[in-house]
Amino acid sequence: MSISEDKLAELDKKIENLANSVNEIQVTQKQHGQQYKTQNLSTRLEAVEKKQDDVVKLLTGLRSELAGISSGMARRDSLMLGSGTVTGLTSLRRDSLILDPTGRRESLILGSDGFIGRNGNIPVMEVEPWEPTQDVQEVIDRLLERQFLLSPWVREKRLRNQLRLVLKDHIEAGPKRRSTVTKIVHDAHQVYPVWRNQMREVMLENWVKVQEVNHKESAEIIYAQFKKPRFPDELEATNLYAEHMVEVGQYLKRKAIERAERSGKHNYNPVTVTNSKFWYEVRKKINEVIEQEKASGIRRTSQNEDDSDNETVHHDPITPQTSLDTEVDS
């Protein structure tokens, strides 16, 4: 039985349609397979990202704990070195600056030259400090000089706050920045007594002149080595200190002459004024003046009891001088 041409054509058409349908099904299956792989990959990537977030959180927490441990070790070393109770201790860590004098931490002791902090501790850094660039060092030098003009004694809390503001754009918070601040504060403790002694010597060298002129002109003479122009609060502070430096100098010279006369020493040199005694009396006198002004409701622009990080102009009141200050000055 023969098949007509029309039926053959219809059959070919059906076979062609069937082939096209099979091709479309294959393409669709391929697309579904790719979408499934993509979705599976996305799910896996999301899981990886979640794990990465968890790892970052763990590392952040670990970093905070290590920073606390590092800071605590430095404080412990500082307190033990300054307290004199180190002898006989056997539970120190292996790289301790005490048990291992050739170890890494020996270079982190800042009290090896005899300097002891106000609380009787020896400054110890956590890590090697950052070496400031020339521009940053110039800013730090100006800051130290400004703080000295406001008060010739180191206001450590205020100075640390100011240094953090200077360094925050260059070092992220952590042991390195804390160690850098500690190093700079230690340097300030070394240089401030030198500057005070130089001021006293300048005053004594120009003793006749500083007594004849007013306190503003005497401040120009005594503070001649420091920066100009000066801010209003710096001028106020330098004028205040110069005025009472001259008064204390006159008082000490007068007392020295009286003692010399009572002891029968006619060749006594009245110019001799002990450095530590001189600055002790100056600080004592400044404290008295500030307390009197507080009682009267007077407040100087160079006074401020706030030690917050945001404050960048004023300085805090004079604190009582301890025997340590006189020992460092002598």
What are the pLDDT digits (tens) for 156-190?
Answer: 999 999 999 999 999 888 888 888 998 999 999 99
**Closest to 158 in 3D by CA, of 178, 177, 142, 143:** 143
Q: What is the DSSP letter of 114?
A: S
pLDDT of 142 > 80? The answer is: yes
Q: What pLDDT, in 10s, does the model give residues 58-68?
A: 887 777 776 66
Which position has the token pair 């805090």?
316
What's residue 122's pLDDT? Answer: 67
The Cβ of residue 126 has, within 10 Å, a number of other Cβ atoms equal to 23
pLDDT of 110 > 70? The answer is: no
Please compute the mean of the pLDDT values over residues 221-244 and round it to a whole number. Answer: 90
Q: Dig out the tokens for 211 from the structure.
A: 């007594």
pTM over cut 0.85: no
Q: Dig out the tokens for 78 from the structure.
A: 């500082």
C-alpha to C-alpha distance for 128 and 178, rounded to whole angstroms: 10
Q: What pLDDT, in 10s, does the model give residues 294-317?
A: 887 766 655 554 443 333 333 344
What's residue 79's pLDDT? Answer: 58
pLDDT of 221 > 90? The answer is: yes
Please compute the mean of the pLDDT values over residues 82-104 and round it to a whole number. Answer: 43
Contact 252, 273 (CB under 8 A): yes
Residue type, 243: E
Q: Dig out the tokens for 113 from the structure.
A: 């030259």
Angle between helix 134-150 and 175-205 (nearest 10):
50
Q: How much is the mean pLDDT over the chain?
A: 75
What's residue 138's pLDDT? Answer: 93
Find the range with the poorest average confidence among 16-30, 90-104, 177-191, 252-266: 90-104
Is the model more confident about 288 or about 259?
A: 288
What's residue 269's pLDDT? Answer: 58
Percentage of the chain exceeding pLDDT 90: 30
Find the range with the poorest average confidence among 46-55, 197-206, 302-311: 302-311
Residue 16: pLDDT band (50, 70, 90) is confident
Percentage of the chain exceeding pLDDT 70: 69
**Closest to 281 in 3D by CA, of 315, 316, 326, 221:** 326
Q: What pLDDT, in 10s, does the model give residues 143-156?
A: 999 999 999 999 99
pLDDT of 19 > 80? The answer is: yes
